[in-house]
């Protein structure tokens, strides 16, 4: 078995720049309500935003050796997405890993485990989305994988998929669908802008979205 895949296909940089203007929620809706990670994966601080190709990592619970390997081969713009099987009782990432990643041009970290050195990470303005915070140390003794497909936060992630995270959470856009999804995102944004425009003119969401017909079909009663 090859543990570390050093190269993988990344989306065009121009497309990634376009997705940086899209919200995670819009992208999730545009994909037919797919791709969202579990709500347990949250930004470490409000206002964090991350967008870039996924560099996937699978670590043994309690061990962050492969995270350090991933940082060493990362390219500018990559977003490290790490699976630790939801183990929360270790701080897999802290200030040292953050500085190392920033020097490589890494855009951010997504992990289904815990991190530590929260204040230092905040001062560095490095986007981190995690399932928890824990000061406990890790081992560096167990092999895992880098750039193999993983499941993180209940979402499937392949190396090169676009990772989009903001205050609402994280969504994964499969690399083979990025063009199609971006077009749908633009349509969704235009549609929502028009709905807001009509709401400001006195319309209701029931009228505009057809929910009144749904209520009638369900036999709603009023008095």
Residue among 127, 135, 54, 144 at smallest CA distance from 94: 135
Supply the pLDDT for residue 107.
98
Q: Using one digit for the tens of pLDDT, what is the confidence trace for 175-199?
A: 999 999 999 999 999 999 999 999 9
Domain coordinates in residue numbering, the chain: 13-174
Angle of helix 65-73 versus helix 95-104 axis, rounded to 10: 20
Residue-averaged pLDDT of the chain: 97
Full-model pTM: 0.95
Domain 13-174 carries which CATH code?
A: 3.50.30.40
Supply the pLDDT for residue 6.
95
Report which DSSP code applies to 53: E
Sign of CA dihedral 92, 70, 131, 150: negative
């Amino acid at each position: 078995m090859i543990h570390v895949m050093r190269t993988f296909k990344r989306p065009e940089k121009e497309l990634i720049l376009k997705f940086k203007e899209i919200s995670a929620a819009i992208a999730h809706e545009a994909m037919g309500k797919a791709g969202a990670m579990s709500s347990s994966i949250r930004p470490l601080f409000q206002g964090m935003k991350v967008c870039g190709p996924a560099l996937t990592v699978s670590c043994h619970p309690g061990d962050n050796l492969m995270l350090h390997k991933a940082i060493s081969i990362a390219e500018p713009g990559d977003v490290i997405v790490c699976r630790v099987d939801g183990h929360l009782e270790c701080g897999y990432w802290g200030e040292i890993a953050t500085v190392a990643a920033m020097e490589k041009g890494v855009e951010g970290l997504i992990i289904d485990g815990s991190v530590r050195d929260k204040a230092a990470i905040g001062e560095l303005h490095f986007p981190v989305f995690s399932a928890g915070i824990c000061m406990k140390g890790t081992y560096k003794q167990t092999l895992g994988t880098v750039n193999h497909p993983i499941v993180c936060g209940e979402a499937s992630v392949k190396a090169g998929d676009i990772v989009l995270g903001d205050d609402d959470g994280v969504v994964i856009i499969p690399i083979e669908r990025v063009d199609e999804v971006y077009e749908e995102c633009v349509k969704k944004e235009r549609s929502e802008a028009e709905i807001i425009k009509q709401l400001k003119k006195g319309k209701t969401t029931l009228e505009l979205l057809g929910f009144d017909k749904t209520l009638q079909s369900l036999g709603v009663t009023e008095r």
